[in-house]
Amino acid sequence: MFNLILFGPPGAGKGTQAVKIAEKFGWVHVSTGDILRSEVSRGTPLGLKVKSVMEAGHLVSDELLIELMESVFLRHKDSKGFVLDGFPRTLNQAKELDKMFDKLGQKVSLVLSLEVDEQELVRRLLNRAQEQGRKDDTEEVIKNRLVQYHQHTRPLIDYYKGRGLFEEVQGIGSVQEIFEALSGTLSRFMKK
Ligand code: AMP
C-alpha cells in the first residue's frame, strides 16, 4: 500500500491534484474537507458539530478527525493506496496517524508538498469563493485559515523532513504541468 500525504496551505491546489493522482495510481482519495462539507450539508450529527468551526476557518478538533480517519481506513482496507488531502493538519494528528498506520501494518510513504506563495494563495481562494460559493472563502475567513496553517500545520514539515519523507513541488503553473511535476517526483520515489 502506498500512503501519500499531499501537503500544502489552503489554496495550493491539493484537491485538484489529489483527484488526478488517485486516478492515475488507482488509490483512494481522502479529502477530510470534502467529507466534513458533506456532513454539514446533510445535517448529520457530525456536520452540526463542525459547521460553525469550519465556517470560521478554524480547525475541527483532532479527536473528531482521528475518529473520521479511522472509519475511512476501516472502509478501505483493501485499497492499493491512499492520497490524503487535508490530513494530517496538526502535529497531534500526524502522531495519531502514525499510530493508526502502525496498527494496520502501514506507514506514511511520502509527503509531497505543493509550494505556492501567499499572495497567489489569497488570489486563488478569493476566486474559488466566487466560483464555488464556499462559505469559508471570504477574505476574513481566508486570513484565519492561513493563520491556522502557519500555526498548526507548517510544523509538520520538520516532522516529516526529519524522517526523509518530505518532497517539495512547485504549485505554480497549469494543472497539467503541476500534475506532471508531482507524478515525476512520485515515480522517482516509488522506484527507490
Ligand atoms: P479544506 O477543504 O481541506 O480546506 O478543509 C476545509 C475545513 O475543514 C478546514 O478549514 C477545517 O475547518 C476543516 N478540516 C479539514 N481537514 C481538517 C483537519 N485535518 N483537521 C482539522 N480541521 C480540518
Q: Mean of the per-residue pLDDT values for the chain?
A: 95
pLDDT at 129: 80
Per-residue confidence band for 190, with pLDDT thresholds at 50, 70 and 90? confident
Which ligand 1 atom is the nearest neighbour of the CA of 58?
A: 12
Q: Which of 59, 116, 146 to mutate to test the pocket of ligand 1 (most atoms within 8 A of CB)?
A: 59
Which ligand 1 atom is the nearest neighbour of the CA of 53?
A: 12
Per-residue confidence band for 138, with pLDDT thresholds at 50, 70 and 90? confident
pLDDT at 159: 97
pLDDT at 191: 79
- 165-177 mean pLDDT: 96
**CB of residue 8 inside a 6 A radius of ligand 1:** no
The rounded distance, in Å, linking the Cα atoms of 57 and 122 is 14
Percent of the chain surpassing pLDDT 70? 99
| Cα 17 to averaged position of ligand 1 atoms, centre (Å) | 17
pLDDT digit string (tens) for 74-127?
Answer: 999 999 999 999 999 999 999 999 999 999 999 999 999 999 999 999 999 888
Q: Where are the domains of the chain?
A: 2-186
Does pLDDT of 134 surpass 80?
A: no
Does pLDDT of 192 surpass 80?
A: no
**CB of residue 86 inside a 6 A radius of ligand 1:** yes
Q: Among residues 149, 123, 137, which one has the least CA distance to residue 56?
A: 137
| Cα 191 to averaged position of ligand 1 atoms, centre (Å) | 32
| Contact status, residue 189 vs residue 110, Cβ threshold 8 Å | yes
The rounded distance, in Å, linking the Cα atoms of 2 and 99 is 16
Closest C-alpha residue for ligand 1 atom 10: 57
pLDDT at 76: 96
Which three cell numbers mark 108?
A: 506514511
Percent of the chain surpassing pLDDT 90? 87
pLDDT at 139: 85
Which CATH code is given to the segment(s) 2-186? 3.40.50.300
SS3 content of the chain, % helix, strand, coil (to 5): 60, 15, 25
**CB of residue 36 inside a 6 A radius of ligand 1:** yes
pLDDT digit string (tens) for 17-48?
Answer: 999 999 999 999 999 999 999 999 999 999 99
Which ligand 1 atom is the nearest neighbour of the CA of 57?
A: 10
- 162-179 mean pLDDT: 96
**CB of residue 22 inside a 6 A radius of ligand 1:** no
Which ligand 1 atom is the nearest neighbour of the CA of 14?
A: 3
